[in-house]
């Protein structure tokens, strides 16, 4: 029975890896063939497909002259879907769901580590220590089942945060529209061709959540960085050398000091969250406990997302690129505390005084 369960989980983990790897291998082979190189060999696109696979799992790379830790957040959805596809068959072979998830995720992490070891070439390698950790965590998250009844506050907070990201994405799109000539000039300089242009556009779309997080950080007065010793905020802009990528045209070019009031956005977001939480009609003590517990989960989630959304882009001169996660979390924590005091604590104190009289 145990051997059968282990065999089923291994086959499904291998199937999930293949579901992610094979389409990426096709893209790598097609790109390599259309590039027209005569010096390369077929091992190059095969190795590149493994790098793409590891990149979709947000695993950092070491490259000659620097690191690549700024990876597209949206890309992780595809391997999570592939992992989810194999879960039902694994559940049938195990008597307990948690055991099935752990064994399945372990096999997935081991297979990913094998790919990371096999893809090392010419100084380019994925982080061999983080590969099994990241893939195991992603597999565990992809196979998790959340009880909505017990996490309504957390889910509502994520919905509000998703709306915030949408606002950031719209603001960035407006900025791009206002700098269309710059986008055209960069595209002409790149001369990526038809296939390269499609792949470059797809890559930038996968980076859209990273960009949206930086955009909402900029709009709320926190700001972000685009390289070493740089600052991009409403009150101050200091930029160094930037890569010739079309999305760079959307970077702010002037100071907008009124954005310092954008920090109120986080207060309003948490005020809405606490108003929603009060609909449960719980006592202040129980409600406070729930808010603290769900707030801790929310802070952890936001900190992880913010941390993964930024990083080094191939060279130390472009490190960090994106939001400074700890600075953003400081603003979020202060807004959370103020909103809790105004929306939850003060009304409760007023009611207690009124009833005592």
What tens digit of pLDDT does each residue of 16-41 get? 999 999 999 888 888 777 765 555 56
What tens digit of pLDDT does each residue of 72-128 get?
A: 999 999 999 999 988 888 887 777 777 888 999 999 999 999 999 999 988 889 999
3-state secondary structure 266-334: HHHHHHHHHHHHHHHCCCHHHHHHHHHHHHHHHHHHHHHHHHHCCECECCHHHCCEECCHHHHHHHHHH
Q: 217 with 319, same domain?
A: yes
Q: Identify whether residues 237 and 93 lie together within a single domain.
A: no
Kindly state the average pLDDT of the residues 212-219. 92
273 shares a domain with 138: no
162: domain range? 149-356
Q: What is the DSSP string of 154-172?
A: HHHHHHHHHHHHHHHHHHH
Average pLDDT value for residue range 170-195: 81
Q: State whether 221 and 123 are in the same domain.
A: no
Quote the pLDDT of residue 1: 57
Shared-domain flag, residues 135 and 243: no
Burial class (CB in 10 A: 0-12, 13-18, 19+), 182: middle
Q: Are residues 124 and 270 in the same domain?
A: no
**At 192, is the pLDDT very low, low, confident or very high (cuts 50, 70, 90)?**
low
Tell me: pLDDT of 312 over 70. Answer: yes
Based on the fold, state whether residues 38 and 155 are members of the same structural domain: no
- What are the tokens at 357? 């009289």
The pLDDT, as a whole number, for residue 357 is 57
Q: Name which residue leads in pLDDT, 3 or 212.
A: 212
Chosen domain end from 145, 167, 188: 145
CB-side exposure of 155: number of CA atoms within 13 Å?
7
Same domain, 258 and 233: yes
Beta-bridge partner residues of 226 = 321
Sign of the CA dihedral 18, 139, 113, 41? positive
132 and 259 in a single domain? The answer is no
Q: Are residues 109 and 181 both part of a single domain?
A: no
Residues 198-218 as b/e (b if ≥16 CB within 10 A, e otherwise) read ebbeeeeebbbbbbbbbbbbb
> Same structural domain for residues 94 and 228?
no
Structural domain count of the chain: 2
């Amino acid at each position: 029975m145990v051997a059968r369960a282990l065999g089923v989980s291994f086959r499904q983990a291998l199937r999930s890896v293949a579901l992610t790897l094979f389409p990426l291998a096709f893209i790598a082979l097609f790109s390599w063939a259309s590039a027209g190189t005569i010096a390369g060999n077929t091992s190059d696109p095969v190795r590149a497909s493994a790098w793409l696979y590891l990149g979709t799992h947000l695993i950092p790379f070491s490259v000659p002259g620097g690191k690549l830790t700024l990876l597209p957040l949206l890309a992780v959805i595809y391997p999570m879907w592939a992992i989810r596809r194999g879960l039902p068959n694994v559940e049938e072979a195990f008597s307990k769901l948690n055991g099935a998830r752990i064994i399945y995720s372990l096999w997935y992490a081991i297979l990913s580590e094998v790919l990371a070891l096999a893809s090392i070439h010419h100084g380019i390698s994925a982080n061999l220590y983080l590969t099994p950790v990241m893939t195991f965590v992603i597999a565990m998250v992809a196979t998790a089942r959340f009880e909505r009844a017990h996490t309504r506050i957390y889910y509502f907070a994520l919905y509000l945060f998703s709306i915030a990201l949408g606002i950031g994405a719209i603001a960035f799109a407006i900025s791009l529209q206002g700098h269309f000539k710059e986008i055209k000039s960069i595209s002409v300089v790149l001369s990526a061709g038809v296939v390269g242009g499609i792949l470059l556009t797809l890559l930038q779309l996968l980076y859209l959540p990273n960009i949206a997080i930086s955009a909402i950080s900029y709009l709320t007065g926190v700001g972000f960085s685009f390289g070493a010793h740089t600052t991009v905020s409403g009150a101050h802009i200091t930029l160094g050398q930037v890569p010739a990528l079309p999305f760079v045209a959307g970077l702010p070019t002037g100071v907008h000091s009124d954005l310092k009031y954008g920090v109120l956005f986080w207060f309003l977001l948490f005020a809405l969250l606490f108003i929603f939480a009060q609909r449960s009609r719980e006592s202040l003590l129980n409600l406070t406990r729930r808010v603290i517990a769900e707030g801790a989960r929310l802070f952890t989630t936001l900190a992880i997302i913010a941390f993964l959304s930024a990083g080094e882009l191939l060279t130390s001169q472009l490190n960090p690129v994106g939001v400074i996660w700890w600075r953003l979390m400081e603003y979020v924590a202060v807004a959370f505390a103020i909103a809790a005091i105004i929306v939850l604590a003060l009304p409760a104190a007023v009611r207690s005084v009124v009833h005592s009289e």
